[in-house]
Amino acid sequence: MRHVGFSCGGIHSALRLVVRAREKPAARVKREPGAKRRFDIHVVLRRIRDAVAEHADAAMFDLAERGFKTVFQQLVGCIISIRTRDETTLPVARALFAKAPTPAAVAALSKDK
């Protein structure tokens, strides 16, 4: 099972991380007219996964998969992500963390860098 805390990123990426339960087709049940239909969370999650399958994972998940998992790196990545598109977030965050992977290293950077 994969556990990732919710941070920045689209809901579609978070939903992809939902543990896939065995999906059995819902049995047809006769019900009275006007009666409520039983809510099946597995059907709903399958439909959501199908609907968002074409979208890429959010940059924050990509950063975590590349080893940038510290709270500091996730926070800085999140801040960069809020201000840019994912296409920009990944290269900028990776370049920053290559030069300064810790808060002390970032504080030691000059304004030019």
Over the stretch 63-91, which tens digit does the pLDDT of each residue have?
899 999 999 999 999 999 999 988 899 99
Conformational region of residue 22, where left means phi above 0, alpha means psi within -120 to 50, and beta covers everything else: beta
Residue 1 included in any domain: no
Residue 4 included in any domain: no
Q: How far apart are CA 64 and CA 4, in angstroms?
A: 9
% of the chain exceeding 70 in pLDDT: 73
Residue 37 included in any domain: yes
Residue 38 included in any domain: yes
Residue 23 included in any domain: yes
23 neighbors 42 (Cβ within 8 angstroms): yes
Question: Based on the structure, what is the number of domains in the chain?
Answer: 1
What range does the domain containing 58 cover?
11-108
Whole-number pLDDT of residue 85 = 86
**Residue closest to 106 by CA, chosen among 58, 69, 72, 71:** 72
Residue 59 included in any domain: yes
